[in-house]
Structure 1
Amino acid sequence: MKDTPRTVGDVMTQTVVAVSRSAAYKEIVKTLAQWKVSAVPVVEGEGRVVGMVSEADLLPKQQYKDRDPSRIEQLRHLDDLVKAGAGTAGELMSTPAVTLRGSATLAEAARLMARKGVKRLPVVDEDGRLAGIVSRSDLLRVYLRDDEDIAREVQDEIVDHFFRNCRPTAEVTVTEGVVTVSGRLPDAAMVPVVARLVRAVAGVVGVELRLEAPPVKPWVPEPPVVGPQF
C-alpha cells in the first residue's frame, strides 16, 4: 500500500448518508436498504451528529407487532417497547452519539468499538459535524499492507535507529504480517522497547524477536570515601 493508514481519517468513508431527527421510520428503512448499511447517523443543524439509528433500533416494531404492549412481563423490555411505538429517527436513535475524530488512531477506534459494542462510528470534526464514518472492515484494511512495505518501515524507522552501532546489523523478515527481528543489541533493556515499537507498526500481525544482548550488570554501591579525621 503506497500510503500506510495511520489514523481513522486515512480509512474512513467520506461519503456518508445521514438522516434528520424528523426522518420517518419507513424513510430510514429505505435509506439503509438503498445504501446497503446497517446504521446511519442522525444529524441536525449544519450536520452535527446527535445520534445513530441501527437495524437493532428498528427491529422492535416487528418484534412486538403481534404482542399486547400492556402485558406485565413485557415491562422488562421497556426500551424496546418504546422503540416499537416510535415513528421518527429522533425517537429511535441511540443517544448521545458515540463519535471520534479523524485524528484518532486505528487502535483507539478499535478499542472504542469494542467497549461500546458497535460496528461503526461517525467521524466528526472539531465542531461535531459529520466528516465520515468508520467501520470494522475499514480498520482491518491496514492488514492488506504488503510484507515488503512493513519490513521496509521496520528497517528504516526502528532497526536503523536502535542497531546503528551494532555489527552485524539486525535482520528483518516479514511473513504474512509477522515480523521477525534477528540480531544483537548493545543493551538488554532495549528489547521490550523494540518489541513495542515493532508491534505498533501498521499492518503488523505478530512480532518475534531473536535478539541477543549482554546481560544487565547488577548495580553495586561504591564504597564510602574515608577521609581524614578532624
Structure 2
Amino acid sequence: MPEIKSIVRESVVSAAPSTSLTDIAQLMEDESVGSVVIATEERPQGIVTDRDIALAAAARGDDPETATAADVMSEDVVTVDADSGIFEVLRAMTDANVRRIPATDADGELAGIVTFDDFVVLLGRELKLLGDVVEAEIPPYEHS
C-alpha cells in the first residue's frame, strides 16, 4: 500500500498553545496556510483553523489579542504515523471528520501534515496517468 511519505508536507506551521489568535492569523497569512498545528515540545496538542479564528472572533466575540490558540484549538488531535499508508490516513480523516491530520514520528513528535487537498492533487495526478495509459491503447479518434 502506498505511504503518505509521497505527499506529506514536512514543513509544518506550528505554534504554542499560548499564542494569541492575532498572531496565529498573522502566521497563517505569512505562510499562506489555513491551519496551524498547536504543539508543545514538538508534540501536537491541537489544530487551529482559519474557521476557528473566524468563529471565535465573529460569532463569540472573543478578543483575538487576548484569546489564545488553546482557547479555540481542536483538542484530542488525531495524528497518524509518518509511515502510514494512504488508505489508513484517509480512513483516520474520515473517522475523525477532519480535513487535516498531523503525522508524527516514532517518538510522537511532529513530522509533517497531510491535508485533504493533498489527496485531491494526488488523485488528479493518478487519474492523468491512467488517462495517458488508456489513450495510448486506443486508436485515435477520427473527426469529420
Runs ≥4 residues deviating over 2 A: 145-149
Relative contact order higher in (CA < 8 Å, ≥ 6 apart): 2
For 1:26 and 1:136, how far apart are their aligned partners in 2? 25
SS in 1 for 2:118: helix
For 1:18 and 1:118, how far apart are their aligned partners in 2? 18
Higher helix share: 2
1:29 aligned partner: 25
1:132 aligned partner: 112
Name structure 2 gaps, 5 residues minimum.
136-144
Correspondence list, 1:53-132, <5 A: 53-60=48-55, 61-65=57-61, 84=62, 87-132=67-112
8 Å CA contact retained: 1:42, 1:52: yes
* CA displacement 1:124-170 (0-9 Å, x = unmatched): 11121110110112223154142399xxxxxxxxxxxxxxxxxxxxx
For 1:29 and 1:104, how far apart are their aligned partners in 2? 30
* TM-score, L = length of structure 2: 0.78
Instruction: Note the aligned Cα RMSD (angstroms).
Output: 2.3
Identity %: 26
Instruction: Please state if 1:50 is matched with 2:9.
Output: no
2:134 aligned partner: 175
* TM-score, L = length of structure 1: 0.51
SS in 1 for 2:29: helix
For 2:23 and 2:54, how far apart are their aligned partners in 1? 14
8 Å CA contact retained: 1:8, 1:101: no
Correspondence list, 1:188-227, <5 A: none
Which of 122, 130, 133 is equivalent to 1:147? 130
For 1:29 and 1:113, how far apart are their aligned partners in 2? 24
Residues 58 and 148 (structure 1), Cα distance of their counterparts in 2 relative to 1, 3 Å cut: closer
**Bigger radius of gyration, 1 or 2?**
1
For 1:97 and 1:121, how far apart are their aligned partners in 2? 8
Residues 137 and 175 (structure 1), Cα distance of their counterparts in 2 relative to 1, 3 Å cut: farther
2:138 aligned partner: none
